[in-house]
Structure 1
Amino acid sequence: MKYDIRLVVADDHEIFLDGLALMLSRQEHITLVGQASDGRELVELVNAENPDVVMTDIKMPRMDGIAATRLLVQQNPEVRVIALSMFDEEDQIVEMLEAGAKGYLLKNADKQEILDAIASVYEDRVYYCKSTSAKLAGMIAKSKFNPYKQKEVITFTDREQEIIKLICQQFTAQQIGERIFLSKRTVEGYRTRILEKMNVRNTAGVVMYALKNNLIREEDIL
């Protein structure tokens, strides 16, 4: 990274918020410009500080993350919002994306994934948590959220489509290679090109892109 990302974080759980803020404040390319403990405070803080990226809990007092995100995106379409969620909040994650969030993370995400998510949304790419379940992927695919609809249609070769389906079914590069008689290294090369074409960071992103663009069916990943 060669840039400095201005970041605001919001969560009503003080211990979690302080721990997250401490970790982020130690990152060389991130400037933590503020913390909020509820949705109204978050909106006021973002209006005052004009950050590049916002990480916010979904369930907060006074104004929840969904309402806050909807308001923030209306007021400043350039702000990138990442939802912070518990594992059992699939409906709310979908609502956050429909409200304008650019990505989501489970609260137990590790440090590297948090940093990857921040970098991705800063670069205007959607970030899907690595722990995305098949159920949540299906819900997002059926939702109004579609970051691909205004972008150029990407074409994939028959071999790439074959590998996309196997990636979505959670097969490793080694397992894919054994199934279609390619070396692990060759499969990894295909996977890298597929991620670049889709402009996604991980397997969850491949699944979501493939579902939204009818490259696979929901039954293929269950």
Structure 2
Amino acid sequence: MIRVILADDHAILRDGIRAILSHEPDIQVVGEAGNGQALLELLATQPADLVLLDVSMPVLDGFATTSALRAQFPGVHVLVLSMLDQESCVYRMMQAGALGYVLKNADITEITYAIRTVAAGRPFLCTEIGLSLLRRATQRQVGANETAEPAYTIPLYRSGPVELSVREMEVLKLIAEGLTNAEIADQLFASKRTIETHRQNIIEKTQAKNTAALIRYAMLHGLIE
């Protein structure tokens, strides 16, 4: 059982997340805090495996809270849940000790997957942030050398070390566009659960640890542009 504490200054958001996570058999919300200081005080008496933490909070913000939490409770993993998508904010939180970062507009499937991944001690970036960072890194690399060859000179599609079905290729390309499972399901006229299955099959075949790694794999092997 993954013991989770919710840290956000908006009670209505905490109530919503708690209600959603109550349907997950392996995740239990064991506490809530409205700011960073209250969170640290709660952790002194309430054991937890993971903190779902906002960045913008009163009294003690996410940056200071994460640094203090990692120093005082090194066994507790930090997963950021925030509306802030600036690259500088993501880097600062990860440098402070956060292991994962998810935007509040992510669907619940991605949030619960992030919780399980970070609770297991593995890093996680949500799809939107991962793609954004990857694109910026690629742009910087190409811009640094105007005479360099294009970052990816392989054709749009070719057979690589793994074989994906036609439907899996369709799903992969839509993932690369930043669509959620629900949006992909609508576009392909399929159920959300079917898309989740395709997505999991793609991840297992490519052995990508997260969405950003999956997109990089697909680009390097010519599966997408």
Q: Normalising by structure 2, what TM-score?
A: 0.65
Q: CA deviation at 1:179?
A: 2.2
Note if 1:201 corresponds to 2:210: yes
CA RMSD of superposed structures (Å)? 3.4
CA distance in 1, matches of 2:83, 2:47: 27
Which residue does 1:150 correspond to in 2?
none
Aligned residue for 1:118, secondary structure, equals: helix
Q: 1:190 to 1:90 in 2, by over 3 A?
A: closer
Q: 1:36 to 1:206 in 2, by over 3 A?
A: same
- In the alignment, is the contact (CA less than 8 A) between 1:9 and 1:36 conserved in 2? yes
Q: 1:184 aligns with which of 158, 164, 167?
A: 164
Which residue does 1:30 correspond to in 2?
27
CA distance in 2, matches of 1:207, 1:73: 30
Q: CA deviation at 1:133?
A: 5.3
Q: 1:179 to 1:121 in 2, by over 3 A?
A: same
Note if 1:109 corresponds to 2:106: yes
* Aligned residue-pair number: 174
Task: Tell me the alpha carbon deviations over residues 147-168 of structure 1, each in whole angstroms, 9 at most, x when there is no partner.
Answer: xxxxxxxxxxxxxxxxxx87xx
CA distance in 2, matches of 1:190, 1:25: 28
CA distance in 2, matches of 1:104, 1:62: 21
- In the alignment, is the contact (CA less than 8 A) between 1:85 and 1:93 conserved in 2? no
Q: Normalising by structure 1, what TM-score?
A: 0.66
Which residue does 2:118 correspond to in 1?
121
CA distance in 2, matches of 1:185, 1:51: 41
Aligned residue for 1:179, secondary structure, equals: coil
Is the deviation greater in 5-14 or in 181-190?
181-190
- In the alignment, is the contact (CA less than 8 A) between 2:164 and 2:202 conserved in 1? no
- In the alignment, is the contact (CA less than 8 A) between 1:94 and 1:139 conserved in 2? no
Q: Note the 1:31-180 alignment, pairs <5 A.
A: 31-132=28-129, 134-137=131-134, 179-180=157-158
Which residue does 1:173 correspond to in 2?
none
The one-letter code of the counterpart of 2:207 is L
CA distance in 1, matches of 2:46, 2:136: 34
Q: 1:193 to 1:8 in 2, by over 3 A?
A: same
The one-letter code of the counterpart of 1:70 is S
- In the alignment, is the contact (CA less than 8 A) between 1:177 and 1:184 conserved in 2? no
Q: Tell me which structure has the larger Cα radius of gyration.
A: 2
Aligned residue for 1:121, secondary structure, equals: helix
Q: CA deviation at 1:126?
A: 0.5
Which residue does 1:155 correspond to in 2?
none
CA distance in 1, matches of 2:12, 2:213: 30
Identity %: 34
Q: 1:101 to 1:207 in 2, by over 3 A?
A: farther
CA distance in 2, matches of 1:181, 1:139: 27
- Structure 1 gap ranges (5+): 142-164, 167-175
- Structure 2 gap ranges (5+): 139-150, 170-200
CA distance in 1, matches of 2:71, 2:90: 19
Which residue does 1:172 correspond to in 2?
none
- In the alignment, is the contact (CA less than 8 A) between 1:128 and 1:205 conserved in 2? no
- In the alignment, is the contact (CA less than 8 A) between 1:102 and 1:121 conserved in 2? yes
CA distance in 2, matches of 1:135, 1:104: 13
- In the alignment, is the contact (CA less than 8 A) between 1:102 and 1:125 conserved in 2? yes
Task: Tell me the alpha carbon deviations over residues 116-161 of structure 1, each in whole angstroms, 9 at most, x when there is no partner.
Answer: 00110111111110112554347899xxxxxxxxxxxxxxxxxxxx
